[in-house]
Amino acid sequence: MRISGGRARGVPLVVPKGDAVRPATDGMRQAVFSSLAARVPGARFADLFAGSGAYGLEALSRGAAGGVWVEKNAKAAACLRQNLAVVCKSLGRDGSGLAVLGTDALAWTPVAGEEPDLVFIDPPYEIIADVAPVLFARLAVALVAKPDVLVVFEMPGELTLEPAGWECVKRLGKGAHQPTVVIFRQA
């Protein structure tokens, strides 16, 4: 697994051994960032259920100004920190404006004045039905100052989400039994 575009393109990413993390594929990230294109440079992001940090690191490589990764699994967070250091070195930047938080994504609230422009959510598939309504409700309140925020949600292709107060802008992927990504905005 590697950074698929931007200034850190080709930088390899490490993932923890075992099944604690299901990283977003290079192809899926390429599709997502092709769709987001002009929204990424200068943006702030939040990568929830971050795992290896691939979505946020890809955003960083493609010109995002900064952001936060939220990952409660200690092994995954350790890999993420390692990946962040390698990507920052490749980009020639320090870690200012970047943070890895070892907490539950459901407990995360953005810092006032540092609300993200992009929110990446890639939870374990088996908990989506439980966490999605809670996350979207919390984001609607926490991001009231960012009415143009985009939420990028990875899920199985057979699943459909219709969160209250949010609308689907685009769905990427090949359908049932394959990972898909849905981009939402506030309705």
How many domains is the chain built from?
A: 1
State how far the Cα of 171 lies from the Cα of 36, in Å rounded to an integer: 12
> In the predicted model, what is the mean pLDDT of residues 35-43?
94
Total length of the chain:
187
Q: DSSP of 91-157, one letter per residue?
A: HT--STTEEEE-S-GGG--PPTT---SEEEE---GGGHHHHHHHHHHHHHHHTTT-TT-EEEEEEET
pLDDT digits (tens, 9 = 90+) for 95-149: 899 999 999 999 999 988 889 999 999 999 999 999 999 999 999 999 988 989 9
Round to whole Å and give the CA distance between 130 and 122. 14
Phi then psi for 169, rounded to 5 degrees?
A: -95, -40
Provide the pLDDT confidence category of residue 19 given band limits of 50, 70 and 90: low
Candidates 74, 71, 98, 72; CA nearest to 84 is 98
User: Pick from 42, 32, 37, 85: which is nearest to 67 by CA?
Assistant: 42
- 56 in a structural domain: yes
**Look-up: residue for tokens 């962040």?**
84
Q: Report if residue 19 sits inside a domain.
A: no
- 137-173 tens-digit pLDDT: 999 999 988 989 999 999 998 999 999 999 999 999 8
Residue 10 falls inside a structural domain: no
Please tell me whether residue 184 adopts helix, strand or coil conformation: strand
> pLDDT averaged over the chain?
92
Domain assignment present for 113: yes
Judge whether 17 lies within some domain.
no
Please state the rounded mean pLDDT for residues 10-39: 82
Q: Which structural domain, as residue segments, surrounds residue 38?
A: 26-186
| Rounded-to-integer distance, Cα 124 and Cα 169, Å | 23
Does 15 fall in a domain? no
Lateral strand order in the sheet of 44-48: 98-101, 66-70, 44-48, 118-121, 150-156, 179-186, 166-173
pLDDT recorded at residue 171: 94
11 part of a folded domain? no
Q: What is the pLDDT of residue 15?
A: 86
Residue 29: what pLDDT? Answer: 86
Query: What is d(CA 47, CA 122) in angstroms, rounded to the nearest whole number?
Result: 8
- Whether residue 5 is contained in a domain is answered as no
| CATH at 42 | 3.40.50.150
With tokens 């960012």, the residue in question is: 146
pTM (2 d.p.):
0.94
